[in-house]
Amino acid sequence: MLAPIHHILGLTSIVRERVLPISGNVTVRLQQKVSANDIVAETKWAREHVLLDIARLLNVSPHVAERLVTCKVNDQLQADAEIAKGKGLFAKSIKTPRAGHVVAVGGGQVLMAVGETKIELRAGIPGTIIQILPSKGVVIQTSGGLIQGVWGNGRIASGSLVNLADTPDAVLTPTRLDVSLRGSIILAGMIKDIETLEAATELSVRGLIVSSIYPSLLSKAREMNYPILVTDGFGSLPMNSAAYKLLSTNAKRDVTINAEVYDRYTGAKPEVIIPLPTSTDPLTPNETEEFMIGSQIRMRRPPFMGMIGSITTIKHGLTTLPSGLQAQSAEVKLENGETVIAPLVNLEVVG
Amino acid sequence: MHFSPNIRPSLETEDTDPAERELARMIINIRKRQIKGVDLLDLWSGGHMLPTAYATGRMVRFLSKIYGSQKGILSVDVGASATTIAAAFRNKSTLKVLPQFGLGENLVGLLNYTTLENILKWCSLDITSGVLLDYLHQKSLYPSSIAATKEDLAISQAIARQTLSLAMQSASKDFPRNIATIKPNLTPLFDPILASGSTLSSASKPGLSLLLLLDGLQPVGITTVILDQNNLLPLLGVAASQNNLLPVQVLESGAFLSVGSVVAPVVSAKYGTSILKAKLNYENGAEANVDLKFGTIEVLPLANGESGRLTIQVPRGVDVGFGVGRGGSIPVSGGALGVVFDGRGRPLDLPTDPVRRRELIKKWTWTLGGA
């Protein structure tokens, strides 16, 4: 059975494709070094469309209206620009309600895209441009440690990592935050109150890496101007031991948080990257794995949610769980020595 | 830009089929861009790939023509990405895809349409709203994960009930007028009801799935409930265009699990009042009786593949589909549970006292063999 993978790796080659949602301009060149916040491509995107029914507005047939339309596809028009005019002494004039460009003309109707906004695509990770995808984006490569999370607030930043989580189940409170942390990325435990998020803003921290956050704080967390990456989930969950060990042993190093929102179609997850110098490119992590005896896994649902263990047996057929449901399951030896049975769909391979 | 023929070629005629086909094709093209491998699958299928909901809707229309009953046919799919409700009433059909009521990635968005308290009212265990909120967020991270503990299962079933109830309310707004009903504000008369989706099909016992459907849909009158445990209905909807005999053969093969016949009288009475008497005559000459009290659920066994004749008598003020205060006799077919009598009234009114409510939910679950 194919297993979902959650990357927590001390040293790996990280290759990320960064692509615009629609065609645009790539602003970097091949082999260029970029930082996480550099813009690598940009484009314009209209969120709204306006359909102007010229035939109805001029009270003529669609066939007649087509001859009266003066604009054509791809015309860039200002607000109040004339796009059709009726016939006669007191001919009615049809003007554009807003600035925009013409998407389609036909059947006595004009479709306009309006309200254009600029989209800037950032690199997301520091590294080297190894491929240009014309009009779409780039492929970036770097080497270092990689820790994926489960939730991010959509922001990107780099800075020096400071460890404020003495243990994986530590709770970050405003009293732990002082001016010495200004400009740092903070490794914290759980966040349980809004005051902590606000204190971090006042302090101008560069980012927060937390094990869990209360769901009620998510809307506030999205508003913060620094990246917040959650490694394990929502509520009161300690940080999984693999992520905690890797992050805490890399304190004082420069790290990058790309707290992008999880995208199930592209598989993009929020992640922390610890750039490390290497003489040769390390191997890239596997993108597909199968559950096997010895696989290091993380539990994704209760009981034992967030705990790391290794598969000792994959059970044949279906196993009845304490809930009464039946599922293909495995015996897992947890880090605390306990052996438990868990359905495979509730596990993910860590590696 | 995509064009399809006019959906209202004249004031009296509405034909949305060509537009729906065009939309279905557009969805496949979008998925081809989003998900690697879809283009290959579409190629392998000779370009016959269809969205699940569209194919389900097509199959429900097909079944409606086969059954030709006065009642409608209902299909509900409570899935991770959306809840889909397809209904067909002879020549008219509706299809509603409700991504806001999906039990996966969009689960947290459910709170835009309901409250934590309204979800917890369906829960058989004493769960706090904080635990439920954490569950909603955590489950949205891992839509394919399943409930491994009793507490998780109770929460997931409560969410599914509320989701189904909201989805049905939303879908029923599009049902055509002049369809068979007992009361206008209640669920119309449907027979059969086909149900699928991970929450329903993964339930450990058919009784759990049935109680979830009875609570969420609140069917009225006499109906048959069928579980599509392997999610075959949309596949048959796609296959039907290539081979119109195949769906019929699969339907008759026993690939679907009949849970049984359900009798749900429309009545409002005091708890414990007798609201229905029924006699089930088996093919072997044996008979079984039930005296249904308000607020309870009763079951008469009738195995899968067997049939019997059910004779119903109701007092004044009770309607089971034969008219108010009128009884009748009908053939019924068996299923995993047999003939189930839901005497909890319509609309279902749960006790406000949480302890009493949880006791009743446990009792109903136990009666249907889901404990």
Helices B206-217 and B150-172 meet at what angle, rounded to 10?
A: 40
Looking at residue A186, its pLDDT comes to: 97
Q: Which residue has the higher pLDDT, A157 or B17?
A: A157
Is A343 within 8 Å of B146 when comparing Cβ atoms?
yes
| B256-282 confidence digits (pLDDT tens) | 999 999 999 999 899 999 999 999 999
Tell me, yes or no, whether B164 and B284 share the same domain: yes
Tell me, yes or no, whether B42 and B122 share the same domain: no
Please give the C-alpha separations between residue A98 and each of A44, A57, A95, in angstroms, as whole numbers.
16, 17, 9
Looking at residue B200, its pLDDT comes to: 85
Vertex B124: Cα angle to B135 and B142 (nearest 5): 20
Tell me, yes or no, whether B11 and B66 share the same domain: no
Q: Which of A234, A324, A326 sits opposite B153 (nearest CB)?
A: A324
Tell me, yes or no, whether B295 and B165 share the same domain: yes
Q: Is a pLDDT exceeding 80 seen at residue B311?
A: yes
Pick the closest to residue A231 from A157, A309, A165, A143 (CA basis). A165
| A65-116 confidence digits (pLDDT tens) | 989 999 999 999 999 999 999 888 788 899 999 999 999 998 889 999 998 8
Confidence of residue B371 (pLDDT cuts 50, 70, 90): low
Full residue range of the structural domain in which residue B59 is found:
52-367
- Overall domain count for chain B: 2
Q: Chain B residues with CB inside 8 Å of A302's CB?
A: 148-149, 151-152
Is A325 within 8 Å of B203 when comparing Cβ atoms?
yes
Tell me, yes or no, whether B40 and B74 share the same domain: no
Tell me if chain B has a CB within 8 Å of the CB of A216. Answer: yes
Is B146 within 8 Å of A111 when comparing Cβ atoms?
no
Tell me, yes or no, whether B2 and B112 share the same domain: no
Pick the closest to residue B75 from B65, B66, B61, B67 (CA basis). B61
Is the CATH number of domain A2-10+147-275 3.40.80.10?
no
Q: Is a pLDDT exceeding 70 seen at residue B187?
A: yes
Which of B105, B145, B201 to mutate against chain A (most A CBs within 10 Å)? Answer: B145
Is A233 within 8 Å of B141 when comparing Cβ atoms?
yes
Rounded Cα distance, A59 and A67, in Å: 14
Tell me if chain B has a CB within 8 Å of the CB of A287. Answer: no
Tell me, yes or no, whether B174 and B322 share the same domain: yes
Vertex B191: Cα angle to B187 and B195 (nearest 5): 80
Tell me, yes or no, whether B35 and B131 share the same domain: no
Domain ranges of chain A: 2-10+147-275, 44-117, 291-350
| A131-140 confidence digits (pLDDT tens) | 999 999 999 9
Q: Is a pLDDT exceeding 70 seen at residue B40?
A: yes
Tell me, yes or no, whether B295 and B259 share the same domain: yes
Q: How far is B309 from chain A (nearest CA, A)?
A: 34
Q: What percent of chain B has pLDDT over 90?
A: 78
Q: Is a pLDDT exceeding 90 seen at residue B251?
A: no
Q: How far is A203 from chain B (nearest CA, A)?
A: 29
Vertex A299: Cα angle to A295 and A302 (nearest 5): 155
Looking at residue A271, its pLDDT comes to: 97
Rounded Cα distance, A109 and A129, in Å: 45
Looking at residue B154, its pLDDT comes to: 95
Is B142 within 8 Å of A346 when comparing Cβ atoms?
yes
Q: Is a pLDDT exceeding 80 seen at residue B201?
A: no
Q: What percent of chain B has pLDDT over 70?
A: 99
Interface predicted TM-score (ipTM) over 0.85 = yes
Q: How far is A6 from chain B (nearest CA, A)?
A: 12
Rounded Cα distance, A321 and A301, in Å: 13
| A313-331 confidence digits (pLDDT tens) | 999 999 999 999 999 999 9
Rounded Cα distance, B143 and B103, in Å: 7
Per residue, the 3-state secondary structure of A204-271, as one string, reads: CCCEEEEEEECHHHHHHHHHCCCCEEEEEEECCCCCCHHHHHHHHCCCCCEEEEECCCCCCCCCCCCE
3 state DSSP class of B117: helix
Tell me if chain B has a CB within 8 Å of the CB of A104. Answer: yes
Q: Chain A residues with CB inside 8 Å of B145's CB?
A: 300-301, 343, 345-346
What's the mean per-residue pLDDT of chain A? Answer: 94
Is B203 within 8 Å of A342 when comparing Cβ atoms?
no
Which CATH architecture describes the domain A291-350? Roll (2.30)
Peptide bond into B301 cis (omega under 30): no
Tell me, yes or no, whether B118 and B13 share the same domain: no
Tell me, yes or no, whether B13 and B133 share the same domain: no
Q: What percent of chain A has pLDDT over 70?
A: 100
Tell me, yes or no, whether B26 and B168 share the same domain: no
Q: Is a pLDDT exceeding 80 seen at residue B204?
A: no
Q: How far is A328 from chain B (nearest CA, A)?
A: 11
Q: Mean per-residue pLDDT for B338-351?
A: 96
Q: Chain B residues with CB inside 8 Å of A323's CB?
A: 146-150, 152-153, 204
Residues in chain A: 351
Q: Chain A residues with CB inside 8 Å of B105's CB?
A: 264
Tell me if chain B has a CB within 8 Å of the CB of A204. Answer: no
Is B204 within 8 Å of A300 when comparing Cβ atoms?
no
| A22-40 confidence digits (pLDDT tens) | 899 999 999 999 999 999 9
Looking at residue A45, its pLDDT comes to: 87
Residue of A nearest to B200 (CA): A325
| A289-311 confidence digits (pLDDT tens) | 999 999 999 999 999 999 999 99
- Helix (H), strand (E) counts: chain B: 11, 12
For the domain covering A44-117, report its CATH number: 2.40.50
Is A262 within 8 Å of B136 when comparing Cβ atoms?
no
Is B142 within 8 Å of A151 when comparing Cβ atoms?
no
Q: Is a pLDDT exceeding 90 seen at residue A342?
A: yes
